[in-house]
Amino acid sequence: MLGQMMDIPLSISTLIVHADRYHGDTEIVSRMVEGPSADNGRDIVKGIHRYTYRDAHRRARKLANVIRANGVEFGDRVATLAWNGYRHFELYYGISGIGAVMHTVNPRLHPEQVAWIVNHAEDKLMFFDLTFAPVVEKIAALCPTVKAWIAMCDRKHMPSIKVDNLLCYEDVLESASDSFDWPVFDERSAACLCYTSGTTGNPKGVLYSHRSTLLHAMASIQPDVFGMSGRETVLPIVPMFHVNAWGIAYSAPMVGAKLVFPGPGLDGASVCELFEQEQVTLSAGVPTVWLGVLQYLQQSGKKPTSLKRMVCGGSAVPPALMRSYEQDYGIKIHQAWGMTEMSPLGTYGSLKKKHDALSPEEQFAIEVKQGRAIYGVDLKIVDGEGNELPRDGKVSGDLLVRGQWIIDSYFRLEKSPLVDGWFPTGDVGTLDPDGYLQITDRSKDVIKSGGEWISSIDLENLAMSHPAVAMAAVIGVYHPKWDERPLLVVVKKPGTELTAAELIKFYDGKIAKWWTPDDVQFIDALPLGATGKVQKNKLREHYKDYKLPGA
Ligand code: AMP
C-alpha cells in the first residue's frame, strides 16, 4: 500500500520560487566583476550590485527563455566559467530550472583542460565572466558543440575578443520576457555537472540530480551542520564553480538567508571589507583562504564585528588556525569533510550535549576532527581485504561512504566506482564510537615507513602550530632502508627566522620519535591546485630524487 501524500518532485526551481514568495525582499549583494568603478545605477557603493531574491527570480525566468531560445533542450549541458556573483546565481536557477544541466567549469584549470571538459560534456552554451574572456578566446575554436558564448556583462563592458557567436548577457536578458512557468519533471533528472579536479588522468564528471541537490541542501542547513536560518548573512568564498559552493547557492534561498557574493575579490582585504559592510555572520572556504584572511587581520589589526562562524574544509584544517580565530577573534571554525562525489558534504564538526561536561581542551580535541556523519551519509572504514574495522577512534582504514547525495557512477563512464554499494573515498581515517571521523591522509599521501604508516596531516598540523610557519606540507621520499621517510616542506612567515634543525626539534615529545620528519626544505610558495589545495603530486615530482640526510 502506498502512502497517500502529495507526490511533488524535489526540484531546484522550487527554491527560487519559495525565496521569491516568502523572502522576496531579502538581499543578494555581489562584488561586481566589472571592477570598482562599475556603476549599476542602484547601489550607493560603486562596484557593488544589490538586489533581492524577487529580482533574481525575475531574471532567472528571463534567462530560462533566453536559454530555450538558443536551442537548449531538456538534459542539454550549459556551461559557466564564473566567480561567485548574482549572474552566476541566476544561471543556477535559469539552467537547471528548465531541466537543462548546469555545468560549472573550474576557470583555474589550464585552458586545454577547460576545452577537454567542455567537449566531454558537449556543452551547448557557455556563459563567462569578463575575467575569463582570454580563456574563451583561446578555447572557442576547439569547442565545436558550443553554439554561443555569452559574456556576463552589459554592452559597455563587452570584451574585445575574436569569438564567433559572442553575445552580451544584459542585452539578451533585456529583450527576453520574464514570463515563464517552471516545468515539472522527474526529480532524478540531472541538474548540475562538476568535474573532479583529479590529480592524475582525465577529470571525471559528477552529475548531480535535482533530488540529490535538494536533499543535500536540506541536510546542510540543520542546526548541527551549517545551522543556517533566515536571520543569517552568508558569504560563500568557496566557489560556485566547484561543487556548487558546498550547496550554499541552494541552502540560502531555502532558508531566506541574505547572500553576499565576493566576485573575484578573494584576498583578505576584499573579503574583510564585505564582512563588515554587509555584516556577514557565516562564511565558508578552504584552509588556504582562511590563512590568507588571518594574515590580513593580523597585519591590519582589524577585527570582524559580525562574523561568528566559519565553515572550513576541502583539506585538513590546521588546529593552530582554529585556535587563532577562536582566541583572537571569537570566531568558531567548524570543520567539514566531503568530496565532489558527495555533493560535497559528508561530515561536520559540532559537539554533542554530553561534551558540555568536558574541559575546553578536551572539546577542542573533538573539534579538530573532521566531524560526524550528517544524516543521509553513512561511513565505514575497512582493511585491505574490505573487512570492516572497529569504530574505536584508533584503528585507521580506507573510508567508504554511501547516501542519497553520493555518486553512483561518473558521467559517461561505464564502470561504477562502487564496491558492494559503497563509494571508496580514497581517504584513510579513524571513526570513533560517537561517529567522529578523523582523516589521517589521502591513501596516496600516506607515508609508508618500514611497513608502518605515518600520517602526513598530523605532521603538517604540528608544523603549522610553530609561530614562524605559514604553510607546511609533508611528503614521503625514497629511503633505501625504510622505503619512505617524511620530508617537511615549509613556507616561512615573512620576516621570521627558522632553521631546519629548530623545526625538527619542535616535534620532540609531541609525536612518536620515528614519525619525526627526516629533513626540512624551505620554499617561497607551495604549489596550489585549482581548488586551493596543496598539490602534493607536484611536490613529490619535484623532490623525487631528493637524498635524505643519512640515507
Ligand atoms: P574534492 O573532490 O576536490 O573536493 O576533494 C575531496 C578530498 O579533499 C577528500 O577526499 C579529502 O581527501 C580532502 N578533504 C576534504 N575535506 C577535508 C577535511 N576537512 N580534512 C581532510 N581532508 C579533506
Instruction: Report the nearest-CA residue for atom 13 of ligand 1.
Output: 315
Whether 40 has a pLDDT exceeding 90, the answer reads no
Q: Residues near ligand 1 with C-beta < 6 Å?
A: 196-197, 313-317, 335-340, 344, 370, 425-427, 439, 442, 531
Instruction: Report the nearest-CA residue for atom 1 of ligand 1.
Output: 339
Under a CB-based contact definition with an 8 Å cutoff, are residues 230 and 275 in contact? no
Whether 469 has a pLDDT exceeding 80, the answer reads yes
Quick one: pLDDT at residue 516? 95
Catalytic residue among 34, 341, 367, 460: 341
Pairwise CA distance, residues 192 & 104, whole Å: 8
Under a CB-based contact definition with an 8 Å cutoff, are residues 249 and 89 in contact? yes
Whether 492 has a pLDDT exceeding 80, the answer reads yes
Whether 55 has a pLDDT exceeding 80, the answer reads yes
- β partners of residue 102: 78, 192
Under a CB-based contact definition with an 8 Å cutoff, are residues 316 and 457 in contact? yes
Q: Sorting pLDDT into bands at 50, 70 and 90, what band is 41?
A: low
Whether 198 has a pLDDT exceeding 70, the answer reads no
Q: How many separate helices (H) and strands (E) can be counted in the chain?
A: 16, 25
Quick one: pLDDT at residue 529? 87
Q: Sorting pLDDT into bands at 50, 70 and 90, what band is 44?
A: low
- β partners of residue 123: none
Quick one: pLDDT at residue 35? 84
- Reported pTM: 0.93
The distance from CA 242 to its chain's CA centroid, rounded to whole angstroms, is 6
Is 448 annotated in the active site?
yes
Q: What is the mean pLDDT of residues 44-56?
A: 89
Whether 351 has a pLDDT exceeding 90, the answer reads yes
Pairwise CA distance, residues 163 & 112, whole Å: 17
Q: How far is the CA of 533 from the centre of ligand 1 (A)?
A: 9
Cell numbers for 460: 603538517
Q: Sorting pLDDT into bands at 50, 70 and 90, what band is 239?
A: very high
Structure confidence by residue, pLDDT tens digits, 141-162: 999 999 999 999 999 999 999 9
Q: What is the mean pLDDT of residues 397-413?
A: 97
Whether 115 has a pLDDT exceeding 90, the answer reads yes
Q: How far is the CA of 3 from the centre of ligand 1 (A)?
A: 39
- For the chain, how long is the longest CA-to-CA vector? 74
Is 453 annotated in the active site?
yes
Structure confidence by residue, pLDDT tens digits, 411-422: 999 999 999 999
**Whole-angstrom Cα Rg for the chain:** 24
Cell numbers for 489: 616542506
Instruction: Report the nearest-CA residue for atom 8 of ligand 1.
Output: 314
Quick one: pLDDT at residue 451? 81
Reduced to 3 states (helix: H, G, I; strand: E, B; else coil), residue 265 is coil
Least confident of 72-86, 153-167, 377-391, 435-449: 435-449
Q: Sorting pLDDT into bands at 50, 70 and 90, what band is 499?
A: very high
Is 196 annotated in the active site?
yes
Looking from the CA of 212 toward its CB, the CA atoms found within 13 Å total: 27
Q: How far is the CA of 378 from the centre of ligand 1 (A)?
A: 17
Quick one: pLDDT at residue 39? 63
Whether 535 has a pLDDT exceeding 80, the answer reads yes
Query: What single DSSP character describes residue 317?
Result: P
Instruction: Report the nearest-CA residue for atom 9 of ligand 1.
Output: 339
Q: What angle do CA 117, 122, 124 make, to 5 degrees?
A: 120
Helix (H) or strand (E) holding 290: helix 287-300
Quick one: pLDDT at residue 36? 77
From 106, 216, 322, 339, give the residue whose CB has the most ligand 1 atoms within 8 Å, as the site to mutate.
339
From 109, 204, 427, give the residue whose CB has the most ligand 1 atoms within 8 Å, as the site to mutate.
427
Is 233 annotated in the active site?
no
Catalytic residue among 453, 493, 533, 538: 453
From 337, 341, 436, 536, give the residue whose CB has the most ligand 1 atoms within 8 Å, as the site to mutate.
337
Q: 345-375 burial, b for 16+ CB within 10 Å, e for fewer?
A: bbbbbbeeeeeeeeeeeeeeebbbbbbbbbe
Structure confidence by residue, pLDDT tens digits, 289-324: 999 999 999 999 999 999 999 999 999 999 999 999
